[in-house]
């Protein structure tokens, strides 16, 4: 990663990257525009972090990076994302320290969502074929986290998952499949209990 090159992508470049990464098909992960998107996102996340460390809340940095960020958003220190332009977040959102989002495909987070510390949301799948994997091929699946969800500390959300409205994901869980609305879910793999 060369952070001396961290300029924002044009709208045309963003759409080009989305066509590659949001297709669900295998693609070459080191395309120059994909690398440019990563560099820009990483730089903006570090800029936001530095502002927070200096006592300044500069949420407009994240608003400019994300596809959408609603009002009353709180994002703590250590946040990172892959692109930002695939990330949509609703209003009344909070995220604890070291929240990481690999948004190489769409990640949609609804309103009134609370995310704990050290949570990872990952859209990425590496190629299963070793030769393709060695050639840096991967594919992505979108993730949907609906309204009024709580995700506690140290949770991992894997590609292609939907978390239903009002669900609570207990700390340390690994979410590998869809979680029903209005359930408490726990474990590895994470399983639901009806509220």
What average pLDDT does the structure give for the chain? 95
| pTM for this predicted structure | 0.95
Task: Give pLDDT, residue 57.
Answer: 84
- pLDDT exceeds cutoff 90 at 195: no
Distance, in Å, from the CA atom of 120 to the CA atom of 189, rounded to the nearest integer, reads 15
Distance, in Å, from the CA atom of 114 to the CA atom of 89, rounded to the nearest integer, reads 11
- pLDDT exceeds cutoff 60 at 168: yes
- Neighbouring C-beta atoms of residue 122, cutoff 10 Å: 20
What percent of the chain has a predicted confidence (pLDDT) above 90? 93
Task: Give pLDDT, residue 6.
Answer: 82
- pLDDT exceeds cutoff 60 at 132: yes
Distance, in Å, from the CA atom of 38 to the CA atom of 43, rounded to the nearest integer, reads 8
Domain with residues 11-194, CATH architecture: 3 Solenoid (2.160)
pLDDT per position as a tens digit, 71-105: 999 999 999 999 999 999 999 999 999 999 999 99
Distance of CA 91 to the CA centre of its chain: 16
Torsion of CA 97, 29, 61, 75, to 10 degrees: -20
- Positions marked active-site: 126
pLDDT band at 5 (very low <50, low <70, confident <90, very high): confident
Quick one: 170 exposed, middle or buried, by C-beta within 10 A (0-12, 13-18, 19+)? middle
Sequence spans of domains, the chain = 11-194
- pLDDT exceeds cutoff 60 at 1: no
pLDDT band at 194 (very low <50, low <70, confident <90, very high): low
pLDDT per position as a tens digit, 29-65: 999 999 999 999 999 999 999 999 998 889 999 999 9
- pLDDT exceeds cutoff 80 at 167: yes
Distance, in Å, from the CA atom of 107 to the CA atom of 43, rounded to the nearest integer, reads 20
Helical ranges in the chain per DSSP H: 11-21, 32-53, 59-65, 130-134
């Amino acid at each position: 990663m060369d952070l001396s090159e961290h300029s924002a992508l044009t709208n045309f470049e963003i759409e080009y990257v989305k066509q590659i990464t949001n297709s669900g098909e295998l693609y070459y992960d080191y395309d120059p525009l994909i690398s440019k998107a990563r560099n820009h996102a990483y730089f903006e996340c570090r800029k936001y972090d530095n502002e927070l460390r200096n006592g300044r809340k500069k949420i407009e940095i994240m608003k400019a990076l994300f596809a959408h960020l609603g009002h009353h958003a709180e994002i703590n220190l250590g946040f990172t994302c892959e692109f930002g332009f695939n990330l949509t977040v609703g209003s009344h959102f909070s995220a604890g320290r070291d929240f990481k989002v690999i948004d190489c495909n769409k990640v949609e987070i609804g309103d009134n969502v609370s995310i704990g510390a050290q949570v990872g949301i990952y859209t990425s799948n590496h190629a299963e074929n070793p030769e393709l994997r060695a050639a840096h091929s991967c594919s992505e699946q979108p993730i949907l986290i609906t309204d009024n969800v709580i995700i506690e500390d140290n949770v991992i959300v894997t590609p292609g998952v939907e978390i239903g409205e009002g669900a609570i994901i207990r700390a340390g869980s690994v979410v590998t499949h869809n979680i029903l609305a209005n359930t408490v879910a726990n474990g590895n793999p994470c399983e639901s209990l009806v509220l």
